[in-house]
């Protein structure tokens, strides 16, 4: 097994683009010719990390393996796992299809459906389709009354406005968030965002 | 001399892994002690040996 640490924004940035890496850290397991076997998103402790890499090398838990299992299954968690793999490998269209399967195979108002809807909205945001992302977060707010979903959607709406460069709307949404969710663990983040967007503090502070 | 060289390589691997925020244990075990720091070298080594690759993509932020 060969191991390489690849800086995604320096000399090997084109390699990161080739493998459609959109989150960090991402560990891509490949054949010797560079063909992807599968990937791990985020840090794992050494033992589970090695176990997962070794599973992938044997074809266990890979996208191909999960797709094969899904042929004779109605397991929504399996569908979600497949959708997530497509999402983080940059295959947004396939990811949307499988997130929709999660919703269609169960209660469209349960937590797994909500999580699927959030994932689709997050894909729009990551793909810089901010209007679509904001619209989907608004749709989630309309469809899921629980306070936790309202809060999560609202902070992402504020972030999406900031990322699309609409400073006025972003400040407004962050300020609304601070008022509406005074107990939120994201309140301090929102307050800092308002100060930064108003130019009261710089990036480094 | 060989012992000193081996110890030095291990130390470099551990320091490199630690400095990049990556846990040293899995990398050292996976590679038996070597981490490539660019894709071209890793790819060439993999093609020559027929070994699979783990690419750890990271950024500074």
User: Which residues of chain A are at the B interface, by a Cβ-Cβ cutoff of 8 Å?
Assistant: 1-9, 11-12, 15-16, 19, 21, 24-34, 37, 43, 45-46, 49-50, 53, 57
Does residue B43 belong to any structural domain of this protein? yes
Contacts of B41 in chain A (CB under 8 A): 4
Q: What is the pTM of this model?
A: 0.76
Class of A107-205 in CATH: mainly alpha
Is B18 a domain residue? Answer: yes
Lowest mean per-residue pLDDT among A140-144, B13-17, B57-61 = B13-17
Domain of residue B26, residue span:
2-49
A37 vs A44: CA distance, rounded Å: 18
What average pLDDT does chain B have? 67
Say yes or no for a CB contact (<8 Å) between A6 and B25.
Answer: no
- Does residue B59 belong to any structural domain of this protein? no
B39 closest CB neighbour out of A15, A25, A32: A15
> Touching check for B36 and chain A: CB below 8 Å?
yes
Residue B57 is assigned to a structural domain of this protein: no
> Distance of CA A205 to CAs A25, A97, A132, A195, A202, Å?
25, 42, 32, 10, 6
Query: How many separate domains does chain B show?
Result: 1
- Please determine, for residue A58, whether its predicted confidence score (pLDDT) is greater than 70: yes
User: Please, are residues A53 and B54 in contact by the beta-carbon 8 Å criterion?
Assistant: yes
Span A131-153, average pLDDT: 97
Q: How far is A92 from chain B (nearest CA, A)?
A: 20
Q: Complex ipTM, two decimals? A: 0.73
Cα angle A26, A164, A150; round to 5: 80
pLDDT tens track for A170-189: 999 999 999 999 999 999 99
Instruction: Tell me if A190 sits within 8 A of A155, measured CB to CB.
Output: yes
Domain boundaries, chain A: 13-57, 69-103, 107-205
CB contact under 8 A, A6 and B57: yes
């Amino acid at each position: 097994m060969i191991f390489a640490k690849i800086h995604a924004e320096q000399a090997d940035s084109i390699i990161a683009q080739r493998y459609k890496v959109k989150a960090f850290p991402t560990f891509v397991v490949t054949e010797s010719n560079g063909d992807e076997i599968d990937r791990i998103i985020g840090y794992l402790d050494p033992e589970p990390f090695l176990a997962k890499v070794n599973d992938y090398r044997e074809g266990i838990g890979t996208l191909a393996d999960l797709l094969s299992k899904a042929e004779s299954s109605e397991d929504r968690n399996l569908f979600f796992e497949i959708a997530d793999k497509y999402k983080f490998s940059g295959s947004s269209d396939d990811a949307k299809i499988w997130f929709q399967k999660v919703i269609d195979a169960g209660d469209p108002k349960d937590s797994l459906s909500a999580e699927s809807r959030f994932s689709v909205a997050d894909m729009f945001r990551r793909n810089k389709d901010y209007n679509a992302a904001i619209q989907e977060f608004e749709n989630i707010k309309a469809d899921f009354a629980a306070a936790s979903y309202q809060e999560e959607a609202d902070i992402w709406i504020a972030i999406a406005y900031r990322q699309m460069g609409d400073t006025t709307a972003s400040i407004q949404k962050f300020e609304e968030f601070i008022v509406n969710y005074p107990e939120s663990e994201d309140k301090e983040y929102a307050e800092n965002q308002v100060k930064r967007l108003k130019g009261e503090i710089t990036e480094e502070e | 001399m060989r012992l000193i060289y081996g110890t030095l390589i291990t130390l470099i691997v551990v320091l490199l892994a630690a400095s990049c925020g990556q846990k040293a244990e899995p990398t050292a075990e996976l590679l038996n002690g070597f981490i490539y720091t660019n894709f071209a070298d890793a790819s060439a080594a993999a093609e020559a040996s027929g070994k699979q690759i783990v690419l750890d993509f990271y950024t500074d932020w």
